[in-house]
Structure 1
Amino acid sequence: MRRTCLCAAAVSAAVLSVVLPATATPSGQPDATTSAAQSGTARPFERLIVGYKPGTAEASSDSAAADDARAKGKTLNRRMSTGAAVVDLGGKTTSADSVIQAFKNDPDVAYVEPDLLMQPFADPNDTEYSRQWDLFEATAGMNVPGAWSSSTGTGVTVAVIDTGYVAHSDVAPNVVAGYDFVSDAARARDGGGRDDNPADAGDWMKRGDCGTDLLGNPIPAQDQDSSWHGTHVAGTIAAATNNSKGIAGIAYNAKIQPLRVLAQCGGATSDIADAINWASGGTVSGVPANATPARVINMSLGGQAACSSTYQNAINAAVSRGTTVVVAAGNSNADVANFTPANCNNVITVAALGREGNKAFYSNYGAKIDVAAPGGETRRGTDTPGTITTPQNGIWSTLNNGATTPGAENYEPYQGTSMAAPHIAGLAALVKAKDASLTPAQIETLIKNNTRPIPGTCNSCGTGLADAAKTVAAVGTTPPGGALENTADVTIVDRGTVSSTIAVTASGNASAALKVGVDIKHTYRGDLVIDLVAPDGTAYRVKNSSTSDSADDVLATYTVNASSEVAAGTWTLRVQDVYSGDTGYIDSWNLTL
């Protein structure tokens, strides 16, 4: 029997974090350095660099330099572009004093020094950095320090669509003008509706402030203090770094654009959609133009519903302007397909891992997850409810200690997919800063293609754990295996035909064993006919329809003999839905020529 779709009604967006405050205890960190060596023989080395005086035989003759090395019991490795000789020691050592002295005693030698291994050090001196396991720990950290030698986010603005921004000295240097999009003055708590001040006035609520649920239970069930959620998110993305205080931001030279959409009881879809449009450079009636459009948007918010046209249209418009949209998956330990805007197309949807590398107990999961990132996982004491027993396993970031209205700035650990998403937003900023020409689809592909395996258990958590150093290093290189990928989601309409393209610049002809990898999410894959269309218009059928194939999704790699086709040009994946009753979307596809 054919199935029909049951769609949930839209609901107001709510913050997707679990608030877990704890007291921060500063600990010192060493000053930043760009060299792995602090002294000449402090680190292992296996070669020497020997510079010979001009006019000597060794300075111009490789055989003479080889003879000189041999006389000292070593071998010549190669000649450098500077003219110096590289000499092999025969193995790693931390001391080669006798050999070094032998070269120094040679009247033909101008200098001799260890060929030290240099590493891209950028470890910051921020006092809370040691708590940021999510950045550097080998198990479930995101390998962020290894990316900093290549990119720190310079020139990229990241819009944080959230509760706004409460003043914090560790974020302030990177904040640019934002906007308050909360149109409901009664919920805003700042004395009015929309204005150019995105300051977080507090989202505290008394029990029942937001009405009741379908069973008559009060919302919220108990009093809640202000979360200062947007400031915590902003700190993870771009807190000031190497300023001898607080935490290190992932893209610490990027700019934060705070956009306030969440206030008492959450935020309205209409306000959030306007913020998405404005952040990416679009026009919103009654709101001045955005002088610094964001190239990355972070949305750590959502609600249980299908993706609405309102959200999808705003997201599509932002992506078309070149803005990458990152969304938290949600904290209900359920299939993300039922939570929006995480279930919309053209976004990077992020699941959360705990410090041990497992799916965080709260994190949503499912086929719509693109990637996983650290979100933290803490526990509360049984004897003293409300007391956090493992604050060290949360995500530490910038906050405020005010229970309702702003108080003093501080740093506290939170957990949630709200904390995971800004890790990916920060990474997207690093990638964009390294190559400003990259499209949102290309940035998503780079992040997804360069994950590493999740160290623990996390089923349906995307391609893996994001790896910042690996991703940034891959910018400007060919994807693994020479595969070209398109990750821009394309909705497959009922009984319609859609297409997705990949531009190829390779020379020569395609392979006789061309590979087409297809990832299509669909509720009745037997409805689908799939063709690969070559640049000259030749269509290769890779999948026919089948009324008996009622399974979900198409996840397959097809081989196509396209050896007669010129590789260069636009290749198209064409998908036809030939029966009614079910829909889906092209999640991604790739081409290996």
Structure 2
Amino acid sequence: MRISLLAATATALLCTGTATSVAAPTAPDAPAGAPAAAPAAPVAEAPVERLIVGYKSMTTEAKSDAAAAKDAKAKGAKAGEALEFDRRIGTGAALVDLGGELGKKDSQDVMAAFEADPDVAYVVPDRRMYATAVTPNDTEYNRQWDLFETTAGMRVPGAWDKATGTGVKVAVIDTGYVTHSDLSSKMVAGYDFISDSFVANDGGGRDSNAADPGDWMLQGECGNNYPERDYDSSWHGTHVAGTIAAAANNSKGIAGIAYNATVQPVRVLGKCGGTTADIMDGITWASGGTVAGVPSNPNPADVINMSLGGSGACDAGTQSAITAAVNRGTSVVVAAGNSNANAANFNPANCNNVITVAASDREGNRASYSNYGTVVDITAPGGETAVSSANGIWSTLNSGSRGPVSENYEAYQGTSMAAPHVAGLAALMYQANPSITPAQVESAIKSNARTLPGTCSGGCGAGLADAAATLGAGTGGTPTGKVFTNSADVNVLDNTTVTSSIPVSGVGGYAPAALKIDVDIRHTYRGDLKVEIVAPSGASALLKDFSTSDSADNVITTYTVDASSVLADGTWKLRVTDNYSGDTGYIASWSLTF
């Protein structure tokens, strides 16, 4: 079976049409609805509204809220300000409200009043923190409505505080890769699996060079009067790769969805398309399987993107390659097709164990060309350049009509463009939780989708993919009441850091916004200890910090943390650090309640 390249035929590479080329990355006017750049953290110190006051452990103020409130009023009167006790922080410190914003000098006067008190261990401002992820400075970013627009964008910026794809590997099984400076730092060595030298169009058959020499075709040269006219090179694999992982914040071009991920080009499509056998080998090799006569892949993919397809049922060979890839832990994302027909009749969109992606336009309707139906799992922006190039998906390309000439950016439309949006989202998820499975990736993407803001006839899966919701920017998982415990003793010696682990399975989805952590640590002079919880993704939260004034014994308490941004299943760790000599102890037990 041969899978063809162009959307004009019954089979498709799954992009349709191009728009005006952008030869040089200039800064365009912002389209309607484009967000203003997120503010950077202020350089100057902001006015202070509250103070955090740590009293020495044996003082009355450390034990009594009433005493702390009385002391706050007294300190305020001394400094000429109206101070109020607000609440007790988890560490035991008092949060003191200054009665309004105070400038630097006034707040320093109040702090000096506390610092002069021998019963006070420390006093610090309650500072405001800011998100570190800001709108990228890439010059074409304002064209990327598909990432950020409120109506039908995929809400990608809301996920970038959780993950950017670091350490994740994505294989793009496509036409290969033509050099582009907005992608060069993201690429790892791939492979050319095209076995027919005519189709390869590079002077040979299979080899380790996945460079795209161009897939231009002359009328009728592929047989059976196909194609019906001359076609220029598409540079399709490079466009797909840019959507997934183009460099961000490099003052040029676009920003990829998983802009810190790596991309591996796996070339299976050339002049006249590609064959099922070559595609099967590409899937196998990309996911870490063995292909006879081909060196093993040093960078097996976490995610495979296949923006390609042909008509007919999912053949047993393609299905076996996909199933094996998924069993190795690789998520496989495929385009639904561009025939405005039921995707159940298109391969590999109708294969099992894949995430099949339909395309939406800028208003959130099913794109006029997009396939549909019950085999569609999710919809993502695919654009409609027939309306305007501004409504297409902008990404990395080349200006050459046959061979490569100069790098540029162009707008394409198609389910080919929708699929890499989901592949990029999957890459973010693999960073957030390296132990996530392909089934969990698909489930989380579908369960966090939002209703298409426009219309969809025929079936668009779970709805429009939502990166921010999928990465846990929402309310997290529903509490289940499931409890996981580790009662094995772990010694905590002087000046050491130790961990105790709890494997969690069967919860599914994201952890709750109020994750309960019960801790029983036996240790004299608990002020020596810092206690942290570490999620399977590697994200951590401070439960208890060091304190030079807390001389009491043992940490036996329940903490509650907002864990809604991390997936529940995987190995959780309690990390305990002792920073002093003379007192030791052990972790007696701890538990998690989801």
1:134-533 mapped onto 2 (5 Å cutoff):
134-212=146-224, 218-379=225-386, 390-459=388-457, 460-473=459-472, 479-480=477-478, 482=480
1:29-178 mapped onto 2 (5 Å cutoff):
37=42, 39-41=44-46, 48-51=50-53, 62-67=65-70, 72=81, 75-81=84-90, 85-87=94-96, 96-97=101-102, 101=106, 104-105=109-110, 107-109=112-114, 113=125, 115-116=127-128, 118-119=130-131, 121-178=133-190
Describe the shift of the 1:10–1:165 C-alpha distance in structure 2 as closer, same or farther (beyond 3 A).
Answer: closer
Given that 1:49 and 1:113 are in contact with CA atoms closer than 8 Å, whether structure 2 keeps it comes out as: yes
TM-superposed deviation, 1:206: 2.0
TM-superposed deviation, 1:119: 3.4
Describe the shift of the 1:403–1:99 C-alpha distance in structure 2 as closer, same or farther (beyond 3 A).
Answer: closer
Describe the shift of the 1:268–1:102 C-alpha distance in structure 2 as closer, same or farther (beyond 3 A).
Answer: closer
Describe the shift of the 1:264–1:10 C-alpha distance in structure 2 as closer, same or farther (beyond 3 A).
Answer: closer
Given that 1:26 and 1:127 are in contact with CA atoms closer than 8 Å, whether structure 2 keeps it comes out as: yes
Describe the shift of the 1:89–1:194 C-alpha distance in structure 2 as closer, same or farther (beyond 3 A).
Answer: same
Residue deviations 1:96-129, cap 9 Å, x none? Answer: 3479937735742456756536335242222222
2:556: which partner in 1?
Answer: none
Describe the shift of the 1:118–1:289 C-alpha distance in structure 2 as closer, same or farther (beyond 3 A).
Answer: same
**Aligned partners of 2:139 and 2:377: how far apart in 1?**
33
**Aligned partners of 1:112 and 1:354: how far apart in 2?**
51
Describe the shift of the 1:210–1:27 C-alpha distance in structure 2 as closer, same or farther (beyond 3 A).
Answer: same
Query: Which region of structure 1 is more displaced relative to structure 2, 329-338 or 60-69?
Result: 60-69
Residue deviations 1:490-536, cap 9 Å, x none? Answer: xxxxxxxxxxxxx9758xxxxxxxxxxxxxxxxxxxxxxxxxxxxxx
**Aligned partners of 2:471 and 2:451: how far apart in 1?**
17
Given that 2:393 and 2:411 are in contact with CA atoms closer than 8 Å, whether structure 1 keeps it comes out as: yes
Given that 2:159 and 2:473 are in contact with CA atoms closer than 8 Å, whether structure 1 keeps it comes out as: no
SS state at 2:470 partner: helix
The amino acid across from 1:285 in the alignment is A
Gaps of at least 5 residues in structure 2 are 5-10, 116-122, 483-503, 508-593
**Aligned partners of 2:444 and 2:39: how far apart in 1?**
26
SS state at 2:431 partner: helix
**Aligned partners of 1:142 and 1:304: how far apart in 2?**
29
**Aligned partners of 1:406 and 1:358: how far apart in 2?**
35
SS state at 1:234 partner: helix
SS state at 1:241 partner: coil
**Aligned partners of 1:483 and 1:17: how far apart in 2?**
46
Given that 1:10 and 1:304 are in contact with CA atoms closer than 8 Å, whether structure 2 keeps it comes out as: no
2:495: which partner in 1?
Answer: none
**Aligned partners of 2:149 and 2:138: how far apart in 1?**
16
SS state at 1:253 partner: coil
TM norm structure 1: 0.70
TM-superposed deviation, 1:482: 4.8
Describe the shift of the 1:365–1:38 C-alpha distance in structure 2 as closer, same or farther (beyond 3 A).
Answer: farther
**Aligned partners of 1:341 and 1:22: how far apart in 2?**
31
TM-superposed deviation, 1:290: 0.9
The amino acid across from 2:106 in the alignment is Q
Describe the shift of the 1:363–1:444 C-alpha distance in structure 2 as closer, same or farther (beyond 3 A).
Answer: same
SS state at 1:86 partner: strand
Percent pairwise identity: 58
The amino acid across from 1:468 in the alignment is A
SS state at 2:292 partner: coil
Residue deviations 1:431-454, cap 9 Å, x none? Answer: 112222111111111111111222
TM-superposed deviation, 1:157: 1.1
Given that 1:451 and 1:467 are in contact with CA atoms closer than 8 Å, whether structure 2 keeps it comes out as: yes
TM-superposed deviation, 1:32: 9.1
TM-superposed deviation, 1:57: 7.8
SS state at 1:334 partner: coil
TM-superposed deviation, 1:148: 1.8
TM-superposed deviation, 1:300: 0.3
**Aligned partners of 1:79 and 1:167: how far apart in 2?**
58
Given that 2:40 and 2:134 are in contact with CA atoms closer than 8 Å, whether structure 1 keeps it comes out as: no
The amino acid across from 1:462 in the alignment is G
TM-superposed deviation, 1:177: 1.0
TM-superposed deviation, 1:85: 3.9
TM norm structure 2: 0.70
CA RMSD of aligned residues (A): 3.4
Describe the shift of the 1:372–1:81 C-alpha distance in structure 2 as closer, same or farther (beyond 3 A).
Answer: same
**Aligned partners of 1:306 and 1:138: how far apart in 2?**
37
Given that 2:333 and 2:355 are in contact with CA atoms closer than 8 Å, whether structure 1 keeps it comes out as: yes
SS state at 1:327 partner: strand
TM-superposed deviation, 1:41: 4.4
SS state at 1:473 partner: coil
Given that 1:22 and 1:413 are in contact with CA atoms closer than 8 Å, whether structure 2 keeps it comes out as: yes
Describe the shift of the 1:445–1:192 C-alpha distance in structure 2 as closer, same or farther (beyond 3 A).
Answer: same
**Aligned partners of 1:408 and 1:149: how far apart in 2?**
34
**Aligned partners of 1:144 and 1:369: how far apart in 2?**
21
**Aligned partners of 2:283 and 2:461: how far apart in 1?**
24
Given that 1:37 and 1:116 are in contact with CA atoms closer than 8 Å, whether structure 2 keeps it comes out as: no
2:578: which partner in 1?
Answer: none
**Aligned partners of 1:103 and 1:401: how far apart in 2?**
61
SS state at 1:438 partner: coil
**Aligned partners of 1:482 and 1:312: how far apart in 2?**
36
